[in-house]
Amino acid sequence: MLQALSPDPDTTARFRHEAQAIAQMRHSNIVNVYDFGEFEGTPYMIVEYVPGGSLANRLSQGPVTHAAALKYLRGIAAGLDYAHGLGIVHRDVKPANVLLEKDDTPVLADFGLAKVLQGSSLKSMTGVTTGTPAYMAPEQVMGHQVGPSADRYSLATIAYELLAGVVTVPGLPQSNSVNVVL
């Protein structure tokens, strides 16, 4: 649901855009959308319920085995590869946006910042730095054009976290980590 924040036209459009991006995709490592509509002026989308919580939550409970880490990484990579093949860049790949099935299959969710590439390049959203800095590629932090490689950078930061047990930029998970990434 798009609630608590007053749904201005821009936010509403982005919300619908997210649903449309997901609706295009059919992949075991990408969340499914079932419906989209408005209830008394509040837009909502219905997506599948993925029961295992997020990868961020799993990681907060302690380190994962190498076999589990590889299963997560393979799945996330396959989902991203599929999305990129359709010209969709996620732009906010991080453990909190990876959900887990009962059998530990990772499922990419939260395409709220996703961008559909037009032709071979894409215009970045000028003046807006979107994403989560600790997992963001330098070009994204700087507000430059962002393509599939930015998602792959984020995947690599998750790989580091899964295999080394620590985040690439410790202690600065939010906006202040920009300079460290650079």
Q: What x/- string results for residues 7 through 26 when contact with another protein is judged by CB under 8 A?
A: ---------x--xx--xx-x
- Which is catalytic among the residues 92, 103, 110, 151? 92
φ, ψ for residue 22, nearest 5 deg: -65, -40
Number of helices (H), then strands (E), belonging to the chain: the values are 6, 6
Kindly indicate which of the ranges 35-43, 67-75, 134-142, 174-182 contains the residues binding another protein, using the contact rule CB under 8 A.
35-43
Using CA atoms, how far apart are residues 182 and 16, in angstroms rounded to an integer? 33
Q: What x/- string results for residues 68 through 107 when contact with another protein is judged by CB under 8 A?
A: ---------------------------------x------
Contact 42, 7 (CB under 8 A): yes
The residue among 20 and 129 lying less far from another protein, judged by its C-beta, is 20
**Does the annotation count 81 as an active-site position?**
no
Both structure tokens of 59: 């990681």
* Short-list 105, 57, 115, CA closest to 79: 105
Interacting residues with another protein (CB under 8 A): 16, 19-20, 23-24, 26-28, 32-37, 48, 101
